């Protein structure tokens, strides 16, 4: 396939996935590779452009992450961001030192708008800085094209060689014109055509899948979450009834979710596929009994998944391919792409056991970010409500119960979570109906247009929210009697891309109502806590 590719070379910076997302938002396909990737491999990929990311090291130090000088001599445009800009300067004969003034946060930037990379950018703009070092001397052939008060080389250019460097981070939203600058690099410098669009992705994937599968049999691991649902529908469009979807109800789903999934993908739903529901809750509870270490729980759940599939596959007969809804952040977070440390192993990536009874695994969404998966879902005609469902981790409630898992605990967290979701949604919808009415927009309460309704949700509405069960028990008093029960933690975050997140500021009265209902309605829970932690340092899930 001859598609435009931009490479993001990862030096371990915090915002590296954002760099890739911004490139794709500009309709250019890109992938992240470690700085350790050999230069020949980079050449063989024939990129239209290369972006070097930020990184924690100081490039002049012994053993710091580096790159081959040849990278800048291939005739391929290169843009260095922060560490990348520093490294480019150092490798090409400039100098980098500890900066006399470190800059962190919003910083005023004065820009030379005659540079192709700053076309359409305001002369006085703002950028996001995060650096200790700076370029003290530029390499031969370079000139300054932007400055800050403390930084004479906030942006540098060698137009003849198409080499550019920014000391700041254009990929974060705190650099308001950053996406435009990256777009300028892609279109004005790399001369990309910008043909990365979701409709072409769907057509391309259907073709590829057909070619790969031939008349083989395919088994899809369906969890009912957005990713695996989109993967399943994509596969069913490509190979129809050659596909069997196996939905493992591992007893770690949200309340009533198993039945909801069956209603959509089962025989009464709109899709023409083979659907098998396996009720495996007991089996999981036995395997998980007494296990409290998060990584072990994830591994056990992932492994059991595969075992159940193997068994189903044997019943179906020869099965050649297994489909999974792995997406790009899973791959990168599992330490398989780029430089990021292993934070958690995702059950369908790092948790995959060595012995798998299938010829091959197909992961059609492996290179997509979440918002891209949603676009594909809409493109495929999947109902809006399913496409915009909250993300739910593969290991399910298994990792929303801190410590060991049991049927009783699952029930507690399911019931608490259902109450929480019900109240938040009701409050947000009520707010939306009123806001819409105030704006003169009529939304039918009986049969609301969900997309329209969502657009009037309050600003506090979390992007993801759920209840988790802590393994803390504490003393309480209910009906004059001593209780010694569990504490439920409510989590709610605002996030654009799930790489960073902040705790959502849900109005207190709504939280109080949720607390009240949980204590009154859920047996075994006598305390409700609200998790204020952002990501980083926390993760969205608790384990």
- Which of 4, 19, 30, 55 binds ligand GLN (CB under 6 A)? It is 55
Tell me if 80 contacts ligand GLN by CB under 6 A.
no
**Closer to ligand GLN by Cβ: residue 53 or 125:** 53
> Using the rule CB under 6 A, is 56 a contact of ligand GLN?
yes
- Min dist CB 159 to ligand GLN, Å, is 24
Min separation Cβ 17 and ligand GLN, Å: 14
Beta strands at 321-323 and 218-222: parallel, antiparallel or unpaired: parallel
Q: In the structure encoding, which two tokens stand for residue 39, read together?
A: 């230069």
Candidate ranges 130-138, 364-372, 384-392, 521-529; the one touching ligand GLN (CB under 6 A): 130-138
In whole angstroms, the minimum distance from the beta carbon of 60 to ligand GLN comes to 10
Instruction: List the one residue from 4, 6, 9, 13 that touches ligand GLN (CB under 6 A).
Output: 13
**Residue 97 found at the interface with ligand GLN (CB under 6 A):** no
- Work out whether 329 is an interface residue with ligand GLN (CB under 6 A): no
Question: Of the two residues 168 and 498, which places its CB atom closer to ligand GLN in the complex?
Answer: 168
Catalytic residue among 103, 171, 257, 363: 171
When asked if residue 168 is in the footprint of ligand GLN (CB under 6 A), the reply is no
Nearest-angstrom CA–CA distance, 82 and 140 = 19
Distance CA 62, CA 336 (A): 26
For tokens 């777009």, the residue is 183
Q: Does 95 bind ligand GLN (CB under 6 A)?
A: no
* 541 contacts ligand GLN (rule: CB under 6 A): no
Measured from each CB, the residue nearest to ligand GLN is 54
| Composition of the chain by helix, strand, coil, percent to 5 | 35, 25, 40
Question: Strand pairing of 95-111 and 124-137?
Answer: antiparallel
Q: How far apart are CA 378 and CA 391, in angstroms?
A: 16
Q: How far is the CB of 58 from ligand GLN (least distance, A)?
A: 6
Cα gap 529→490, rounded to integer Å: 6
Residues in binding contact with ligand GLN, number by CB under 6 A: 12
Among 17, 23, 30, 54, binds ligand GLN (CB under 6 A): 54
Stretch that binds ligand GLN, among 48-56, 227-235, 451-459, 494-502 (CB under 6 A): 48-56
| Tokens standing for residue 84 | 């990348």
Residue 132 binds ligand GLN (CB under 6 A) = yes
CA atoms within 13 A on the CB side of 452: 14
Q: How far is the CB of 109 from ligand GLN (least distance, A)?
A: 16
Q: Does the footprint of ligand GLN cover residue 82 (CB under 6 A)? A: yes
Of the residues 131, 217, 370, 494, which one makes contact with ligand GLN according to CB under 6 A = 131
Of the candidate spans 49-57, 175-183, 216-224, 320-328, the one that interacts with ligand GLN by CB under 6 A turns out to be 49-57
Extract long-range pairs of 64-70: CB within 8 Å, 24+ residues apart.
65/11, 65/12, 65/35, 65/339, 66/35, 66/91, 67/9, 67/35, 67/91, 68/39, 70/39
**Minimum distance from CB of 495 to ligand GLN (Å)?**
21
Euclidean distance between the first and the last CA atom of the chain, given in angstroms as a whole number: 39
> What Å distances lie between residue 149 and 109, 182, 310, 313, 399, CA to CA?
8, 23, 62, 64, 47
Instruction: State the angle between helix axes of 407-438 and 281-288 in degrees (0 to 180), rounded to the nearest 10.
Output: 120
Confirm or reject binding of residue 130 to ligand GLN (CB under 6 A).
Answer: yes
Q: For 442, list phi and psi in degrees, rounded to 5.
A: -95, 125
**Angle value at C-alpha 107, between 163 and 81, nearest 5 degrees:** 25
Q: Which is nearer to ligand GLN, 85 or 365 (CB)?
A: 85
Q: How far apart are alpha carbons 201 and 385 in whole angstroms?
A: 22
> Is residue 536 close enough to count as binding ligand GLN by CB under 6 A?
no
Q: In this chain, which of 83, 275, 420, 466 binds ligand GLN, going by CB under 6 A?
A: 83
**Residue 308, helix vs strand vs coil:** helix
Pairing relationship of beta strands 502-503 and 481-494 according to DSSP bridges? antiparallel
> Any contact of residue 91 with ligand GLN (CB under 6 A)?
no
Closer residue to ligand GLN, CB minimum distance, 131 or 297: 131
- For residue 98, state whether it binds ligand GLN (rule: CB under 6 A): no
Is residue 58 involved in binding ligand GLN (CB under 6 A)? yes
**Cβ closest to ligand GLN, residue 56 vs residue 214:** 56
Least separation in angstroms between CB 84 and ligand GLN: 7
527: β partners: 487
Maximal C-alpha separation, the chain? 81
Nearer to ligand GLN, 67 or 252 (CB): 67
Burial 380-394 (b: 16+ CB within 10 A, else e): bebeeebbebebbbb
| Nearest residue (CB) to ligand GLN, 127 versus 213 | 127
82 is annotated as an active-site residue: yes
Instruction: Tell me how far, at minimum, the Cβ of 310 lies from ligand GLN, in Å.
Output: 45
> Quick one: which segment of 131-139, 318-326, 373-381, 447-455 binds ligand GLN (CB under 6 A)?
131-139
| Residue nearer to ligand GLN on the CB measure, 106 or 450 | 106
Using the minimum distance from each CB to ligand GLN, give the nearer residue, 78 or 221.
Answer: 78
- Give me the catalytic one of 30, 59, 169, 333: 169
Q: Are the CB atoms for 128 and 177 separated by under 8 Å?
A: no
Site for ligand GLN (CB under 6 A): which residue of 103, 133, 417, 543?
133
Question: What would the two tokens of residue 414 be?
Answer: 């399911």
Instruction: Report whether the peptide linkage leading into residue 322 is cis, meaning its omega lies within 30 degrees of zero.
Output: no
Pairing of strands 78-81, 30-34: unpaired
- Provide the annotated active-site residues: 82, 169, 171
Residues in contact with ligand GLN by CB under 6 A are 13, 54-58, 82-83, 130-133
């Amino acid at each position: 396939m001859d598609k435009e590719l931009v490479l993001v070379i990862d030096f371990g910076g915090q915002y590296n996935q954002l760099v890739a997302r911004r490139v794709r938002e500009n309709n250019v396909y890109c992938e992240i590779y470690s700085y350790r990737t050999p230069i020949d491999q980079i050449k063989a990929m024939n990129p239209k452009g290369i972006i070097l990311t930020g990184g924690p090291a100081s490039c002049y130090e012994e053993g710091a992450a580096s790159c081959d000088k040849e990278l800048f001599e291939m005739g391929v445009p290169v843009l260095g961001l922060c560490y990348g800009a520093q490294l480019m300067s150092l490798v090409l004969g400039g100098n980098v030192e500890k900066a006399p003034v470190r800059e962190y946060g919003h910083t005023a930037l004065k820009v030379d708008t005659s540079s192709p990379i700053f076309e359409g950018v305001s002369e006085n703009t703002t950028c996001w800085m995060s650096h200790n070092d700076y370029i003290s001397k530029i390499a031969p052939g370079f000139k300054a094209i932007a400055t800050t008060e403390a930084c004479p080389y906030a942006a540098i250019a060698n137009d003849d060689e198409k080499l550019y460097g920014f000391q700041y981070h254009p990929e974060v939203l705190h650099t308001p014109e950053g996406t435009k600058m990256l777009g300028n690099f892609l279109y004005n410098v790399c001369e990309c055509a910008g043909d990365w669009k979701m409709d072409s992705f769907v057509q391309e994937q259907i073709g590829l899948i057909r070619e790969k599968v031939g008349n083989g049999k395919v088994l899809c691991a369906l969890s009912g979450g957005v990713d695996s649902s989109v993967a399943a529908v994509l596969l069913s469009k490509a190979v129809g009834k050659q596909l069997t979807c196996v939905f493992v109800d591992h007893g770690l789903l949200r309340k009533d979710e198993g039945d909801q999934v069956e209603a959509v993908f089962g025989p009464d739903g709109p899709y023409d596929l083979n659907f098998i529901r396996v009720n495996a809750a007991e089996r999981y509870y036995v395997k998980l009994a007494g296990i409290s270490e998060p990584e072990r729980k994830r591994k056990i759940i992932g492994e059991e998944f595969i075992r159940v599939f193997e068994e189903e596959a044997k019943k179906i007969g020869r099965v050649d391919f297994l489909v999974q809804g792995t997406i790009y952040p899973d791959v990168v977070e599992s330490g398989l792409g780029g430089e990021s440390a292993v934070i958690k192993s995702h059950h369908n990536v790092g948790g995959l056991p060595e012995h798998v009874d299938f010829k091959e695994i197909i992961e059609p969404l492996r290179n997509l970010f979440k918002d891209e998966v949603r676009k594909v879902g809409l493109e495929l005609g999947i109902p809006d409500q399913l496409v915009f469902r909250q993300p739910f981790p593969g290991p399910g409630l298994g990792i929303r119960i801190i410590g060991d898992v049991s049927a009783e605990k699952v029930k507690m967290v399911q019931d608490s979570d259902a109450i929480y979701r019900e109240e938040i949604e009701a409050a947000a919808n009520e707010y939306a109906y009123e806001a819409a009415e105030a704006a003169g927009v009529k939304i039918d309460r009986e049969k609301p247009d969900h997309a329209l309704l969502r657009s009037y949700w309050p600003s506090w509405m979390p992007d993801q929210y759920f209840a988790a069960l802590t393994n803390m028990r504490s003393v309480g008093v209910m009906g004059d009697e001593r209780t010694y029960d569990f504490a439920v933690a409510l989590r709610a975050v605002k996030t654009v891309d799930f790489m960073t997140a902040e705790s959502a500021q849900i109005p207190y009265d709504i939280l109080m109502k949720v607390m009240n209902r949980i204590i009154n309605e859920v047996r075994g829970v006598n305390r409700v806590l609200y998790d204020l932690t952002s990501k980083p340092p926390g993760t969205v899930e608790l384990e």
